[in-house]
Amino acid sequence: MTIQKRVTRNHHDVDEYEAVHVLQLLTEDHRTVEQLFASFDEADGRARQGIADDALHAVEVHSAIEEKLVYPAIRKATGEEDLVDEAVEEHHVVKFMIKELHKMKASVRGYRAKFTVLSELVNHHIIAEESEMFPKAEQSGVDWHTLGREALKMKDRMMKSSRRHRRAA
């Protein structure tokens, strides 16, 4: 489900955002990102840049939400320090690669290789979250739906500001 479907009319009130389970939201993001990676793989030439930009942006927004809202809550509720620390380190590498990819054009030699390594890293990260972190977190007493609402709000804000950026560019 896209974020638009979850946001009602009043854009100034946090209650406009549906209270959705945040782990469900993150899992939906994972499927979106996987699809974009697969599309990149199948696309050729011109189409590749747009797909890559969308994929990088989706990973950036998703990671920011995890780092700001979800990981701290999971860390606190589960005490799984190592698990969360590893996820943060993976984000660190992912961010570094995204930064490099932003400086390149999808058409240049080397882009595809770098993008492929990034997608492998992210896919590994997704598996770790869904097979270990999320199931453990699920057992803890986090208010998932309040967190989901906050996550939607943050996502909406980040999407709007990046759209403004793209228009200004």
- Residue ranges in contact with Fe ion by CB under 5 A: 26, 129
21: which residues sit within 8 A by CB, 6+ positions away? Answer: 144, 145, 148
Q: At what angle do helices 111-128 and 45-65 cross, to 10 degrees?
A: 40
Comparing CB distances to Fe ion, the nearer of 91 and 153 is: 91
Q: How far is the CB of 72 from Fe ion (least distance, A)?
A: 14
Provide the angle, in degrees to the nearest 10, between the axes of the packed helices 81-102 and 45-65.
150
What whole-number distance in Å separates Cα of residue 11 and Cα of residue 153? 10
Please list the residues that pair with 7 across neighbouring strands. Answer: 17
Asked if residues 56 and 96 have their Cβ atoms less than 8 Å apart, the reply is: no
**In the complex, minimum distance from the CB of residue 152 to Fe ion, in angstroms, rounded to a whole number:** 15
Whose Cβ is closer to Fe ion: residue 26's or residue 52's?
26
Complex with Fe ion: residue 33 or 52, whichever CB lies closer: 33
Nearer to Fe ion, 43 or 128 (CB): 128
Q: How far is the CB of 110 from Fe ion (least distance, A)?
A: 27
Q: Which is nearer to Fe ion, 26 or 73 (CB)?
A: 26
Query: What is the nearest approach in angstroms of Fe ion to the Cβ of residue 70?
Result: 8
CA–CA gap between residue 108 and residue 153 (Å, rounded): 36
19 secondary structure, DSSP code:
-
**Count, residues in the chain:** 169
Query: In whole angstroms, how close is the CB of 36 to Fe ion at the nearest point?
Result: 14
